[in-house]
Amino acid sequence: MNLNIKKALKIILPLLLGVFLVWYSLSKVSIEAIWGYLQKSNYWWIILGLFLGLLSHLSRAYRWRFQLEPMGYNIKFGNSVMAVFATYLINYTIPRAGEVVRASILANYEEVPFEKGFGTIVAERIADLIVMCGIILLTLFLQFDFIYGFFAEKFNPIKIVLALVVLALLSIVFFRFIKKSKSKLAIKIKNFINGLIEGALSVFKMKKKWAFIFHTLFIWAMYVLMFYVTSLAIEDLEGISIGAIFIGFISASFSIAATNGGIGSYPLAVYAAFSIFGIAQEPSIAFGWIMWASQTLMVVIFGGLSLIYLPIYNRNKTPIQNSKSQNLTPKT
């Protein structure tokens, strides 16, 4: 397949899926019903959720500086913050293009070579992935009886155990095959896995590794709290269990990868998780839309302002001047 066609499909397909999921969710719960829930919401909880989301973004921007300092780059906090918000905004248009823009902003305004800036972003994503896996394991531990009971009702427990055993055996066979294989695909997979391990271990080589770990945990704690406090704004979700919050959060987080910024998929992912706990469809989807819309509005406002203000903030150092100086030795 032509390379340009592949690139176009990567952009168009998530957008089409998002549009379809928006239509599908609104066919389940009308705009009028969602608006009704919004009108009856306690706005203070929504505002608190926005504040917690803002704290997570600021923490992410501050954490980035810990990764760049060992390489000799002391970037301005303002540039880091605006780069982070620009990333989120751009990702609503073209999936993963935001990371490229983020590294480019540092290259333009902070004299950080693109490949080094992008490398820190990849390492950062690895750290986030590890924490996300930790949240999943914690949820499985806290809600094991409930989750097992739910699947035991739907499926034969013996079949579940057999499926897990088969999955474990296939995984062992797969990794042994990848380890010995010399094919291009196997080499790519090995390099990817080695990159994940190397990126994860690189955190412990930082001078401020504990500060980095603290901010990583803080970012995800804010994400979970943001999800929880926003749910308190919906009267029909009063008394929601911590298990529903964790599983809803995990489901919603994965939905963001399905479409651009989770458009359309986010409310349905929340409902899919909440339905396990017997929570009604209408308040679940309405909460998903309110949660997604409030955070998206914040990203659109701050991301747009960041893109406008970046050249003003760096008016004494133009992008052209910086691009010429990227080959110079970094400042210490």
For 9, other C-beta atoms within 10 Å of its C-beta total 12
Cα–Cα distance, 50 to 94 (Å, whole number): 24
Lowest-pLDDT choice from 77-91, 189-203, 253-267: 189-203
Token output for 239: 């008394």
pLDDT of residue 284: 93
Indicate if the pLDDT at residue 210 is higher than 70. Answer: yes
Cα–Cα distance, 181 to 183 (Å, whole number): 6
Cα–Cα distance, 274 to 280 (Å, whole number): 8
Average pLDDT, the chain: 83
Q: Which of 238, 239, 227 minimizes the C-alpha distance to 37?
A: 238
Lowest-pLDDT choice from 56-60, 198-202, 296-300: 198-202
Cα–Cα distance, 184 to 191 (Å, whole number): 10
For 265, other C-beta atoms within 10 Å of its C-beta total 29
Indicate if the pLDDT at residue 224 is higher than 90. Answer: yes
Residue 133 CA neighbour count, 13 Å, CB half? 6
Classify residue 206 by its DSSP letter: S
Lowest-pLDDT choice from 195-199, 268-272, 275-279: 195-199
Any idea which residue has 């010995």 for tokens? 180
How far apart, in Å, are the Cα atoms of 315 and each of 82, 107, 322?
A: 15, 15, 12
| CB contact set of 56 (below 8 Å; sequence gap of 6+) | 218, 219, 220, 222, 223, 226
Q: Which of 285, 292, 283, 264 minimizes the C-alpha distance to 23?
A: 264
Classify each residue of 212-229 as buried b or exposed e, where b means 16 or more C-beta atoms within 10 Å of its C-beta: bbebbebbbbbbbbbbbb
Q: Which of 311, 292, 289, 290 minimizes the C-alpha distance to 300?
A: 292
Kindly report the pTM of this predicted structure: 0.80
The pLDDT-based confidence of 151 (bands split at 50, 70, 90) is: low
How far apart, in Å, are the Cα atoms of 312 and each of 83, 301, 324?
A: 14, 17, 20
> pLDDT by residue (tens digit) across 233-263?
998 898 898 989 999 999 999 988 778 788 8
Lowest-pLDDT choice from 26-30, 33-37, 145-149, 196-200: 196-200
pLDDT of residue 9: 60
| CB contact set of 295 (below 8 Å; sequence gap of 6+) | 49, 50, 53, 226
Residue 91 and residue 97 in contact, taking contact as beta carbons nearer than 8 Å: yes
pLDDT of residue 319: 53
Indicate if the pLDDT at residue 301 is higher than 70. Answer: yes
3-state secondary structure 255-322: HHHHCHHHCCHHHHHHHHHHHCCCCCHHHHHHHHHHHHHHHHHHHHHHHHHHHHHHHHHCCCCCHHHH
Of 48-52, 87-91, 181-185, 187-191, which has the strongest mean pLDDT?
48-52
pLDDT of residue 282: 92
- Identify which has the larger pLDDT, 153 or 70: 70
Cα–Cα distance, 26 to 301 (Å, whole number): 25
| CB contact set of 148 (below 8 Å; sequence gap of 6+) | none
The pLDDT-based confidence of 47 (bands split at 50, 70, 90) is: very high
Instruction: Return the biggest CA–CA distance within the chain.
Output: 68
The pLDDT-based confidence of 2 (bands split at 50, 70, 90) is: low
